[in-house]
Structure 1
Amino acid sequence: MACRVQKRISLRRKLHILRVLTNSNSAKRTSISNTTILRLYKLKLALETVKRHYENLLAARGEHVNLLNHVKENKDVKIEKVRAGTFMVKVTCEKGSNKLVTILEAFDEMCLNVQQAKVSCEKDFSLEAIVVAEDQTLDLRDVTEALLKAIGKQSGENSQKFDKSCDF
């Protein structure tokens, strides 16, 4: 007899917990179980929606990473004018053959003298240099276009050839 009472008390406790979790107001066992099943079904649908969203995000991330891996254009030229005729040049591009030589040749064509330079070839090729122009009228755009042409990047405009004679 005591065993039946304990089972009944245990069942009532479990039904009370289910009623609280499912926000059910009914005291009937079948109504509570129906509400519980409905609640579990809604949670299952919500979980499937979250899984689909997560898989879509992973696919989009994979496509983005794939696109980034295939992009080869990581060339960057930044030039700041320090004072009249003096420029701070920062060049970053992928490693390749004779990048330094072509950049120095471009400097030579524009009659720019390199005062100080730092070159690194760990992951990419990078150059930081302070250059002084013999021609004080040299513009930032001219230097940028010449360097982009030297490292192989096509600028949208036609680049000028620098056929000036340097006074040494």
Structure 2
Amino acid sequence: MASMLQKRMTLRRKIHILRAHSSSKSLKLKLEAIKREYSRLMAIKRQYLKLMKRMQVPNKDVEVHKVGQGFLVRVNCEKGTDRLVTILEAFDEMGLNVQQAKVSCSNCFAMEAIAVAEDQALDVKEVIKALLRTTEKKGGEPTHD
């Protein structure tokens, strides 16, 4: 009777070990599959980010709003040499005096300025047209960082 009990205990132990081992093995296989899928997704993400970085040349975007006696001007366009200079020259030609400005050139050229017109007859549409012409000039060739 004791030997039968020992055999049963031994058999149960072996079954328990086999179950634990097979469960562990399947978990390892699943983990490896998940790691492969994660690596594949990370590679796709890197390719996507590279493509997005190349495509981040913004459309020429010019916004002008009448504010009191002046204008709130926002310009977003691709980076270029002398971009700020050409825009300030356009302001000067229109008789706009810049009161305050913020400029950024991290991914693209971005400027926000408050400018007051010497000639009160200056129209928002005229300012937009002049700035669009300025941002299209080849004088603002893109810089290569």
Same fold (TM over 0.5): yes
Choose the corresponding residue for 1:37, options 21, 24, 48.
Answer: 21
CA distance, structure 1, for counterparts of residue 82 and residue 98 of structure 2: 20
Bigger Rg, structure 1 or 2: 1
* Residue segments in structure 2 that go unaligned for 5+ positions in a row: 1-8, 138-145
**Residue matched to 1:138:** 123
Residue 71 (structure 1) aligned to one of 50, 55, 68? 55
TM-score scaled by length of structure 1: 0.55
Once the 2 structures are TM-superposed, how far is the Cα of residue 43 of structure 1 from its aligned partner? Answer: 0.6
Greater fraction of residues in helix: 2
AA at the equivalent of 1:114: N
Inter-partner Cα distance in structure 2 for 1:93 and 1:112: 23
Q: Distance in 2 between matches of 1:63 and 1:50?
A: 20
Provide the residue aligned with 1:81 in structure 2.
66
* Cα distance in 1, alignment partners of residues 130 and 40 from structure 2: 44
1:47 maps to a residue whose letter is L
AA paired with 2:53?
Answer: N
Query: RMSD in angstroms over aligned alpha carbons?
Result: 3.5
Residue 81 of structure 2 is aligned to residue 97 of structure 1: yes
Could you state the TM-score of these two structures normalised by the residue count of structure 2? 0.61
What is the distance in 2 between the residues matched to 1:48 and 1:145? 59
In structure 1, the residue matched to 2:101 is 118
Distance in 2 of aligned mates of 1:139 and 1:78: 9
Identity, in percent, stands at: 37
Residues 49 and 77 of structure 1, relative CA distance in 2, 3 Å threshold: farther
Alignment pair present for 1:53 and 2:31: no
8 Å CA contact 1:115–1:132 kept in 2: the answer is: yes
> Which of 115-124 and 47-56 deviates more?
115-124
Cα drift, residue 131 of structure 1: 2.2
